[in-house]
Amino acid sequence: MSRPGFSFCICPDPELLREYIVQQLRRQETDWRMRTFWADEELPQAYWDHFHQRDLLGGTTALLLRRCENLTASTWKSLNSLLNRYRRQVWPFLCMETEWSGNRPPEPAALTRLKCYQLAKSRGWIWRSSGLDQAGLQRYIREWSQNRGITVRPEFMRKALQALPLDAGLVKSELEKLELWSGQSRELCGEDAALLSVEPETDVFAFLRSLQRGEKLTVWKKVIQGQMETDSAAFLPFLHLLLREARILWQLNCGEEVRLPARVKREKLSLARSMGLAGLSGLWSYILEAEVGFKSGEWSQMQALDILVTKLEAAFSGEGGPYLPR
């Protein structure tokens, strides 16, 4: 099957993004290895080298660049000059992951003027998704169950739609748990929905509320550390949720429209106004510092968590760093 010379993916949900890319690669006749780089860090030379190297063994690489909304105009121009030529052994995926503003996808102005983006637009090489909504969540559960031969009863679906968050990664994790539970019966009934226990936005919001009230985070640390002991990659998803929550609070504080249930929206708006732009900026700084420290190998995920929690507690109490008011 012929493939795009490169692909733009615009979606705020990392799991939907991953699933789309994997789906595209599986449609090809050749096997693709995936390499991922992050645009919120300085791009290493290894990323640029992929556009020039020749693999004598005929290997093919899907070159993922995440969070491209952080690229500078000069970096976009450099990419533009590289994307103007088809490379058989490299398939670049450029991913933009900010939340949508209403029905409008976030497209950096520095990108939309470039030849590579205009070409992608004309060839249909741009995939856009605003993430899961209630209808999308129902489709996601139906497709999952059909692919695995699991019968989903209407009462289970109704309860699942009420209980599950609009986050594909967490939905997938819960559904995998239920697949094991279904066993040989391969059926999910209404009472099985009681096993759904994930409310990530509420949990992360509660984490921030605990900070804002000046409460110590000993219990929270134990919960997160427990997840890390069973999953060596649990820290980055936690940071993603925390950063997503910080982004929502920022949008609410700036008066932007955010799709949330009315009660949840009121509570989050209250916290956002209490923290203010200075407090939210400090929160972002600490989250990104923890991410860079972990990704660079300077800190283990346990060390990064300890440092993040210590700095947040100090900041919210006014004892250190930017003061995050209560």
Hey, is 93 helix, strand or coil? strand
In this prediction, residue 201 carries a pLDDT of: 44
Q: pLDDT band at 219, cuts 50/70/90?
A: low
Q: Please give the mean pLDDT across all residues of the chain.
A: 83
In this prediction, residue 26 carries a pLDDT of: 92
pTM: 0.62
pLDDT in tens, 100-122: 877 788 888 889 999 999 999 99
Return the sign of the alpha-carbon dihedral for residues 270, 275, 281, 283.
negative
Report the run of H or E that residue 127 belongs to, with start and end: strand 126-128
In this prediction, residue 261 carries a pLDDT of: 63
In this prediction, residue 225 carries a pLDDT of: 65
pLDDT in tens, 69-90: 989 999 999 999 999 889 989 9
Q: How far apart are CA 170 and CA 200, in angstroms?
A: 8
Q: How far apart are CA 39 and CA 107, in angstroms?
A: 15
In this prediction, residue 249 carries a pLDDT of: 87
Flag whether pLDDT at 210 surpasses 50.
Answer: yes
b/e 11-46 (16+ beta carbons within 10 angstroms → b): bbbbbbbbbbbeebbeeeeeebeeeebbbeeeeeee
Backbone angles phi, psi at 81, to 5 degrees: -70, -25
Flag whether pLDDT at 144 surpasses 90.
Answer: yes
- How distant, in Å, are the alpha carbons of 29, 33, 255, 277, 322 from that of 271? 51, 43, 14, 11, 17
Antiparallel, parallel or unpaired: β 151-152 and 7-10: unpaired
Q: How far apart are CA 185 and CA 161, in angstroms?
A: 22
Least confident of 33-37, 59-63, 103-107, 321-325: 321-325
